[in-house]
Amino acid sequence: MDKFVEEDDKDKERFPKKDHIEIDSDGWLSPKGNYYKVKPDEHDESATYLTTNSDEVKTLVKQTLETWDYHRYQDLNAREKLAKLGFILIRGEILRSEDATNFTPEQLEKITGAGIRIVSAFDGSVEYPTETILQKITSIADGIEKADVVVNLQSHLNDLESGKVNRAYDDQFREKTMNDIKRFVRSSLKTTINDNEFWDSKGKEHDILSAGIFDYLSQGFSDEMEMDL
């Protein structure tokens, strides 16, 4: 019996979680920055193991997948499942990816600390400097609540809370949008802000959030830009 218990415990630690990327190693890097080192020929095997046994994976499934999305997730292979949850497969000192801007700050910090270069998967192999990406993320997160459209939205919600204005049906959508913004500030790369068109108490349509934020972020730039809403 003791022998079986020892073997089970050993199996549970087959791909142990580490807090850093080992230089020149292969492994899976989770959205929280946890690293699961694997051998070069264990990419598929480790993915299958982690999707079946990892507590971190099970938690991410519960936290990030909606019911309808979970059924699609079940049809993916193990490597695709990890990618869907935001895991990155590390394979040496260069990481080629078209999703570099969707990595979490924790992942970018671990990648930078290991000296790994992120190179675009697009033609031309443009390198993404992780330090610049982190600086831009911080700048956006720190500044988004200062955009006029967000300030106006928060002002209305403050008036609503203090009783200066009466609650209307559309206020639930205003509150949902503001909660999304606050989550974005805490976790920018993994948060979607759902904007809703609604009318204020005077019958004037609320400013389009995406356009207001775009105007704020593009201040000081002279190049012409186009954005589809």
pLDDT at site 169: 82
pLDDT at site 197: 60
In a domain, 175, yes or no: yes
In a domain, 149, yes or no: yes
pLDDT at site 7: 47
In a domain, 229, yes or no: no
d(CA 155, CA 161): 10
Do 24 and 105 belong together in one domain? yes
Q: To the nearest whole percent, how much of the chain has pLDDT over 70? A: 73
Q: What is the pTM of this model?
A: 0.52
Do 113 and 152 belong together in one domain? no
Task: Provide the domain count of the chain.
Answer: 2
In the numeric block, which tokens belong to residue 192?
């979607």
Higher-confidence position of 85 and 228: 85
**1: helix, coil or strand?**
coil
Is the separation of the CB atoms in 208 and 189 below 8 Å?
no
Do 159 and 70 belong together in one domain? no
In the numeric block, which tokens belong to residue 193?
């802000």
- Residue 147 sits in which domain range? 141-217
Q: Are strands 117-119 and 94-96 parallel, antiparallel or unpaired?
A: parallel
Do 205 and 148 belong together in one domain? yes
**178: helix, coil or strand?**
helix
In the numeric block, which tokens belong to residue 104?
């979490």
Higher-confidence position of 58 and 211: 58
Of 128, 152, 175, the last residue of a domain is 128
pLDDT tier at 4, thresholds 50, 70, 90: very low
Q: To the nearest whole percent, how much of the chain has pLDDT over 90? A: 23
> Which of 2-6, 89-93, 127-131, 190-194 is modeled with the greatest confidence?
89-93
In a domain, 133, yes or no: no
Do 118 and 145 belong together in one domain? no
Per-residue pLDDT at 127 exceeds 70 = no
Of 101, 128, 155, the last residue of a domain is 128
